[in-house]
């Protein structure tokens, strides 16, 4: 019997997950289909009831359900509990277990594709939303020396920084504007991570960068979690500044690879996943 996998979220018009996850299933010869189950918030509970069936191996969870799905699950991993968000659910015998592979995907991309070890690093993180939380807490757990969180709403950044300090890390918050970034960059960070949606194709801030070229240290690695377009306005600015850059596609693939292994017990064929995703984005394989 053909097994089912998928992703739930709303909206799902631009998700790449069905493209690269189906490529992975096919490469491994697994008889399963991965589809997009677009799920408005008012249908979330109903959707999860529908997915508690033997032929469903599991599913991914994306916005706006990463937090609201938790009470509807039977159990969650310790790390998902720490992050307060679930992006992967494994279904076994009608029981749903939530996991979070975002941090694993972020760190694997940072280390393998960015050739950057965060231990002892000074980091600037732009944004304080859900993606930022996974990034900041994983950096702290990896031993980053300090993490500065810049966000337009300062209170949100301060709350996240306080949580890092409560866990024994070093972190503080600043306003996300040129004046405060200039002050924060007096000690140039080794890593800058964009966790905002600024610059995302088809988003409300398409074509915008969260920081100008003149503020980007040439010694930094600039890591933009946005993967559409492949070269975002921030990465263009970083290129101009002479900094190294890393786009968001590797994180997307690596978090998906971790989910694939949770569902199937098999090592994910990441090259097949990259090839399918790059083809769908119109990039060279």
Q: Which residues are catalytic?
A: 66
Radius of gyration of the chain (CA): 19
Q: Do residues 6 and 37 lie in contact, with contact meaning Cβ atoms separated by under 8 Å?
A: yes
Cis preceding linkage at 46, omega within 30 = no
DSSP code of residue 85: -
Q: Residue 46 and residue 43: Cα distance in Å, rounded?
A: 5
Q: Residue 43 and residue 248: Cα distance in Å, rounded?
A: 30
In whole angstroms, what separates CA 107 from the centre of its chain?
10
Secondary structure class of 32 (helix, strand, coil): strand
Output the six-digit token pair for 150: 């810049």
Output the six-digit token pair for 228: 């559409």
Q: At what angle do helices 270-280 and 17-27 cross, to 10 degrees?
A: 140
Output the six-digit token pair for 279: 């083809």
Secondary structure class of 192 (helix, strand, coil): strand
């Amino acid at each position: 019997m053909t097994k089912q996998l998928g992703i739930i979220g709303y909206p799902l018009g631009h998700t790449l997950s069905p493209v690269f996850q189906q490529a992975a299933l096919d490469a491994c010869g697994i008889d399963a289909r991965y589809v997009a189950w677009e799920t408005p918030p008012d249908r979330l509970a109903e959707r999860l009831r529908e997915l508690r069936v033997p032929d469903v191996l599991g599913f991914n969870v994306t916005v706006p359900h990463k937090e609201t799905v938790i009470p509807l699950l039977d159990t969650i991993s310790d790390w998902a509990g720490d992050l307060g968000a679930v992006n992967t659910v494994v279904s076994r015998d009608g029981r749903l277990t939530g996991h979070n592979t975002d941090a694993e995907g972020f760190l694997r991309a940072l280390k393998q594709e960015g050739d950057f070890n965060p231990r002892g690093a000074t980091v600037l993180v732009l944004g304080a939303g859900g993606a930022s939380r996974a990034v900041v807490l994983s950096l702290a757990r990896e031993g980053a020396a300090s993490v500065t969180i810049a966000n337009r709403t300062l209170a949100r950044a301060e709350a996240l920084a306080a949580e890092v300090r409560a866990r024994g890390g070093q972190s503080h918050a600043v306003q996300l504007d040129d004046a405060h970034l200039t002050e924060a960059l007096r000690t140039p960070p080794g890593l800058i991570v964009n966790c905002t949606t600024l610059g995302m194709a088809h988003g409300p801030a398409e074509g915008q960068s969260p920081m100008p070229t003149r503020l980007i240290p040439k010694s930094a690695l600039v890591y933009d979690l946005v993967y559409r377009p492949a070269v975002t306005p921030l990465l263009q600015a970083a290129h101009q500044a002479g900094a190294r850059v890393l786009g968001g596609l590797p994180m997307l693939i690596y978090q998906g690879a971790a989910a694939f292994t949770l569902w199937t017990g098999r090592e994910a064929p990441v090259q097949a996943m990259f090839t399918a995703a790059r083809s769908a984005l119109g990039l060279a394989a």
